[in-house]
Chains A and B, each alone.
Chain A
Amino acid sequence: MSRIEDVFLKIGSIDRRWIFLIIAAVVIVPLLFPIGLPIRATATTKHVYDAIERLPAGSNVLLSVEYSPSTRPENHPMTISILRHLFRNNHKVFITCLWPDGQFMAQDALNQVAKNEFNKVYGEDYVFLGFRPGNEAVVKGIVSNIRKIYTVDVYQKKIDEIPLMKGINNFKDFDFLFSSSAGFPGTIEWVQYASDPTGVPMASGVTSIQVNEVMPYVQAGQMVGVLAGMPGAAEYESLINQKGSATSGMDAQSVAHLVIVLFIILGNISFFIERKRSKKY
């Protein structure tokens, strides 16, 4: 018994750089040799999909991009899948950014989906309004008068000269909002200053870290649904039947989680053995 305990104690005091190496290995191997674990959409993801499906064709949808390259693996697949779904259903898409880097993320997604996949016409099918600094003040501005915040689009074209902007004056002129968010300012500000005061339905795609913060809004009915981190993105990819980078990362995600759980169990066993022995002496 004592020998087994010694083994656990040795595992508990292992140099943590070995743990980093093991995590790296269990993430890389499934990326190189996919297992193909099944992906089942959770209720919160399904609600986002259903809400967009229910919108009548030609609805005005505001897509706000609030993330930077640092959270690209989580947020970008969501943005791409949502854009695919919106363009497939012939909705009109208006893109804003509360983060400066969001502008480049949105441009990348638009190049891939709007231009290459759907051949959508700029100014008629979608408008890229771009970034404005000011955090929640920008959201408040869009709610009261979007034309005061945006007089020109991201390409410096005047808003009044863009056909799609005809009749768009404030947030109530949109039928739906999707916020692809990695923190402040983002989803929470859209709920507080836009969706709640106006009643325009909204959904969000957030990083895993934000899920616990955002989930109460979903449970309370203040948001339609939420795509929770990379698994949420993968679930949405499976719902629209177009697999992408999130789906391919899910095998690695699952295996890494199993290994981390194993480490937590081993660490706890080692901790309790150590505590028991220190009490003895």
Chain B
Amino acid sequence: MDFSTILGAWLSVFLTFGVFSYLYKDNPFYKIAEHLFVGLSAGYWTAIFFWTQIQPNLFGRLFPAKVYDSDNPTPFIYDILNFISSSVFPEGGIDKGHDQYFSYLIPLALGIMMLLSIIPSLSWFARWGIAYTVGMAAGLRAYGYLNSNVIGQIKGTAVNVFDFNLPFFALSEPSIFNNLIILVGTICGLLYFYFSKEHTGILGKASKIGIYFLMISFGASFGFAVMGRISLLIGRFNDLIKFSSTEYHHATFWVLLAMVAILGYATYQDKINNPQIVESAGQDLVQEEE
């Protein structure tokens, strides 16, 4: 096994235990892992966005290779850009299969306006870019939600309750009983959010049934959330077990041992210097959660 793979495994183990160490208390190992994650994510996303969108789809449409040849050389501004960075602006134009669209100068201008938010005197320019993004996203989402979440869901709940071709009861397949549950749950759930009349009498009873349906839904969400977290824990433990083998020079054991020893020593030192801080370490975690 090559050195980089082994180094990667040791790093992975260190960062995993670094994050887990927060469960004991806040400490420098956790801080290292946290800061590394934030910094790397920001850098990685920036690079990916630039090389998958801005370079090929924006610059690639403003300076496409297919429009330039010996008779029609690249413009002077492109030659300057090529001089600055030949990897972003290669000689002869950007060859990503696009035609030339000068209309892409508009998103370029809006993007530059967004970046102007870092200059206080020109920060108002950013509003134009944000206004475009918000307007476009709102319009796009309005259609999607109306079509799928309103009309689609109404269609889904419009079931034939007394379809006698269906069995009376089935656990997860369509049945008369399940259709009744859908009907009662939908109506009572909606009535709970009807605030134009006081929730008394029949409306009060129906909205109470609605609350029970909502509570079951929240319970299911909580159950799935627990299941998801355990799945992720299993994934990390699978890796830790893998990296504890001789192939990886028992990375898991050594890193765990070193981390426990350092944290234990630090806690011991804290206990000598300031016993109150150590005693309240567990309480801090509880308070943070609250």
Contact = CB atoms under 8 A, between A and B. Distances in A.
Nearest to A189: B144
Given A74-B232, A100-B45, A196-B148, A160 B97 contact: yes
Nearest to B231: A230
B172 interface: yes
Contacts of B236: 73
Given A16-B285, A31-B237, A131-B48, A229 B228 contact: yes
A10 to B, nearest CB: 15
Contact of A192 (B44, B148, B286): B148
Nearest to B146: A192
A229 B224 contact: yes
A140 B217 CA distance: 31
Contacts of B136: 137
Main SS class of interface, B: helix
Contact of B141 (A100, A136, A252): A136
B153 interface: yes
Contacts of B145: 192
Interface in A229-260: 229-231, 245, 248-249, 252-253, 256-257, 260
Contacts of B226: 257, 260
Contacts of B286: 16
Contacts of A217: 148, 152
B109 interface: no
A43 B174 CA distance: 11
B264 to A, nearest CB: 14
B156 A229 contact: no
A32 B240 CA distance: 12
B115 interface: no
Given A137-B140, A217-B152, A257 B230 contact: yes
B261 interface: no
Contacts of B227: 208, 229-231, 253, 257
A74 B230 contact: no
A27 interface: yes
B156 A216 contact: yes
Interface residues of A, number: 63
| Interface core residue of B157, B228, B234, B235 (most chain A CB under 10 Å) | B234
A217 to B, nearest CB: 7
Contacts of A156: 96
A70 B16 CA distance: 12
Given A73-B238, A133-B53, A219-B156, A253 B220 contact: no
Interface residues of B, number: 51
A145 B60 CA distance: 18
Given A192-B145, A229-B224, A230-B227, A151 B98 contact: yes
Interface string A203-230: 0000111011000110111100000111
A220 B52 contact: no
A151 B224 contact: no
Nearest to A195: B148
Contacts of B282: 15-17
A230 B234 contact: yes
A94 to B, nearest CB: 17
A142 to B, nearest CB: 14
B148 A245 contact: no
Contacts of A15: 282
Interface in B211-239: 217, 220-221, 224-228, 230-238
A275 to B, nearest CB: 18
Contact of B234 (A43, A159, A253): A253
A252 B234 contact: yes
Contact of B144 (A130, A193, A245): A193
Interface of B: 23-24, 44-45, 48-49, 52-53, 56-57, 60, 96-98, 136, 140-141, 144-145, 147-149, 152-153, 155-157, 172-173, 182, 217, 220-221, 224-228, 230-238, 241, 282, 285-286
30 contacts: A15-B282, A16-B282, A16-B285, A20-B23, A24-B237, A27-B230, A27-B233, A28-B241, A32-B241, A43-B172, A43-B173, A44-B172, A73-B238, A136-B141, A137-B140, A160-B97, A192-B147, A196-B147, A207-B228, A208-B225, A209-B224, A216-B153, A217-B148, A217-B152, A229-B224, A245-B238, A249-B238, A253-B230, A256-B233, A257-B227
- List the 8 shortest-distance A-B pairs measured between CB atoms, nearest first: A220-B156, A73-B235, A192-B144, A208-B228, A151-B97, A230-B231, A100-B48, A208-B227
Given A216-B153, A220-B153, A230-B234, 9 more contacts: A134-B53, A152-B56, A191-B148, A192-B147, A197-B147, A208-B228, A208-B231, A209-B224, A256-B230
